[in-house]
């Protein structure tokens, strides 16, 4: 494995830790909510065989410092700061921008506002214009309780590269905001001319046939179908996985990303093994 260089970026009162290593075409990997570059280590190491990979932690995640603001725009500013630093370092070519979950949404909004600064997008289980919001008034209390429990469990990771400093309420509030962002995300997509590939989970909410999972999974697929109807050039790949797919299916995702160079612009839907 090639050497990995670590450095930090200071912006908006936040310290963002960045790691860079590998060989080949430049690639920036943006994690999602409640995920860190340490969580994405398997995927990162696979990609470094043929990519110059940059990973980083969003504010309040991993080795990044805490912040007062955990809004969508605040997280987007973290990605903007990382991309600006890479541009300052003068990479040999525009990077492929890969985003997971919230990171996919950030990637779409970044690319739509910074034409020509990325070679293409790979979106992993995010940036989905779902027809219905993920959080409804009827199940808001259950989601808040779930994320408060998650935040409590994450307390055991404090001081590690996998820590998440957000409270359950902050996670809930951001997810409510993401629903609003996704309700209007078709407009940013329209501004992107570079190739786009989506790697999506067939069972985003799990494979249970009971409770909210079936409706959430149906809504997830309907969002992608809606997007591809409007943007038929987007290539989609479905994995038999839930939303944790970067952690459970890293080799499959790495193979798809490697293939984006050859498949750029070839639209279609594929169910990956």
Q: Residue 163 region, left (φ>0) first, then alpha (ψ -120 to 50), else beta? A: beta
pLDDT by residue, tens only, the chain of 273 residues: 569 999 999 999 999 999 999 999 999 999 999 999 999 999 999 999 999 999 999 999 999 999 999 999 999 999 999 999 999 987 789 999 999 999 999 999 999 999 999 999 999 999 999 999 999 999 999 999 999 999 999 999 999 999 999 999 999 999 999 999 999 999 999 999 999 999 999 999 998 888 889 999 999 999 999 999 999 999 999 999 999 999 999 999 999 999 986 444 444 455 554
Query: Does residue 142 lie in a domain region?
Result: no
pLDDT at residue 90, rounded to an integer = 76
If you search the block for the tokens 């429990």, which residue do you land on? 149
Query: Does residue 185 lie in a domain region?
Result: yes
Query: Does residue 218 lie in a domain region?
Result: yes
Query: Does residue 44 lie in a domain region?
Result: yes
With beta carbons less than 8 A apart as the criterion, state whether 19 and 4 touch: yes
The enclosing domain of 34 has a CATH number of: 3.40.50.1820
pLDDT at residue 271, rounded to an integer = 59
Alpha helices (H) in the chain, listed in sequence order:
41-47, 72-88, 102-113, 140-153, 168-183, 186-190, 213-230, 245-248, 250-263
State the distance between the two ends of the chain, measured CA to CA, in whole angstroms: 27
- The domain in which residue 211 lies consists of 4-132+176-271
Calculate the CA dihedral of residues 233, 239, 245, 248 and round it to 10 degrees: -140
Count of beta carbons in the 10 Å neighbourhood of residue 146? 14
Query: Does residue 137 lie in a domain region?
Result: no
pLDDT at residue 267, rounded to an integer = 47
Query: Does residue 190 lie in a domain region?
Result: yes
Q: How many separate domains does the chain show?
A: 1
Cα separation, 237 vs 52, whole angstroms: 23
pLDDT at residue 57, rounded to an integer = 98
Closest alpha carbon to 103 in 166, 58, 41, 150 = 58
Angle formed at CA 19 by CA 175 and CA 196, multiple of 5 degrees = 55
Angle formed at CA 54 by CA 195 and CA 150, multiple of 5 degrees = 95
- Give the tokens for residue 38: 């340490």
Q: Kindly tell me the burial class for residue 51, based on how many C-beta atoms sit within 10 Å of its own C-beta (0-12, 13-18, 19 or more).
A: buried
Q: Kindly tell me the burial class for residue 73, based on how many C-beta atoms sit within 10 Å of its own C-beta (0-12, 13-18, 19 or more).
A: exposed
Query: Does residue 167 lie in a domain region?
Result: no
Cα separation, 182 vs 139, whole angstroms: 19
pLDDT at residue 91, rounded to an integer = 73
- Give the tokens for residue 7: 């450095």
């Amino acid at each position: 494995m090639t050497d990995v260089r670590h450095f930090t970026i200071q912006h908006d009162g936040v310290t963002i830790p960045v790691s860079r290593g590998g060989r080949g075409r430049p690639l920036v990997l943006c994690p999602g909510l409640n995920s860190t570059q340490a969580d994405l280590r398997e995927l990162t190491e696979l990609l470094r065989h043929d990519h110059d990979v940059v990973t980083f932690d969003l504010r309040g995640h991993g080795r990044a410092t805490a912040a007062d603001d955990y809004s969508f725009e605040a997280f987007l500013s973290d990605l903007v700061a990382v991309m600006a630093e890479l541009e300052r370092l003068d990479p040999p070519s525009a990077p492929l921008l890969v985003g997971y979950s919230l990171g996919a949404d950030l990637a779409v909004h970044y690319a739509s506002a910074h034409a020509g600064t990325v070679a293409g997008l790979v979106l992993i289980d995010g940036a989905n214009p779902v027809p219905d919001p993920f959080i409804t008034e009827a199940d808001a209390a259950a989601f808040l309780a779930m994320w408060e429990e998650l935040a409590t469990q994450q307390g055991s990771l404090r001081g590690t590269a996998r820590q998440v400093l957000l409270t359950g309420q902050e996670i809930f509030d951001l997810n409510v905001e993401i629903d609003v962002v996704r309700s209007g995300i078709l407009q940013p997509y329209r501004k992107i001319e570079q190739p786009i590939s989506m790697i999506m989970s067939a069972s985003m909410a799990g494979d249970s046939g009971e409770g909210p999972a079936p409706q959430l999974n149906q809504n997830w697929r309907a969002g992608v179908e809606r997007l591809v109807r409007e943007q038929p050039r987007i290539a989609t790949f479905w994995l038999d996985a839930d939303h944790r797919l970067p952690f459970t299916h890293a080799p499959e995702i790495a193979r798809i990303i490697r293939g984006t160079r050859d498949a750029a612009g070839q639209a279609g839907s594929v169910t990956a093994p």
